[in-house]
Amino acid sequence: GQSLEQPSEVTAVEGAIVQINCTYQTSGFYGLSWYQQHDGGAPTFLSYNGLDGLEETGRFSSFLSRSDSYGYLLLQELQMKDSASYFCAVRDRRDDKIIFGKGTRLHILP
């Protein structure tokens, strides 16, 4: 089966850097992705890692280590609008399902 573990909540200060970790177990790994969801909104795609290493997209970066079944999302220069839930998700190679973690609620303090 598949499972993902991520912290339920993280708190950081505006302007700071925060890292949200994700560990996964899957029978057939096919990439780790990250989604952002504001309260009452739809999940929106942020980043994807298919290979080991760091992917950077503006203030957001994502890292993957396939040998450790581990990844993280790094948010820099935090802004109040970054207050949201962040989900890691894996695609299972066997059946193409995308499985989401339970999400990390990011609280940003002024």
Partner 1 sequence: DTGVSQNPRHKITKRGQNVTFRCDPISEHNRLYWYRQTLGQGPEFLTYFQNEAQLEKSRLLSDRFSAERPKGSFSTLEIQRTEQGDSAMYLCASSLGLAKNIQYFGAGTRLSVL
Q: Site residues (CB under 8 A) for partner 1?
A: 8, 30-31, 33, 41-45, 48, 50, 87, 89, 91, 95-103
User: What does each C-alpha distance from 90 to 49, 78, 80, 99 come to in angstroms?
Assistant: 10, 25, 28, 5
**Residue 49 beta carbon to partner 1: minimum distance, rounded to whole angstroms:** 9
Nearer to partner 1, 15 or 93 (CB): 93
Nearer to partner 1, 5 or 65 (CB): 5
Nearer to partner 1, 72 or 87 (CB): 87
Q: How far is CA 17 from the centre of its chain?
A: 15
Give the Cα-Cα-Cα angle 50, 106, 1 (nearest 5 degrees).
Answer: 45
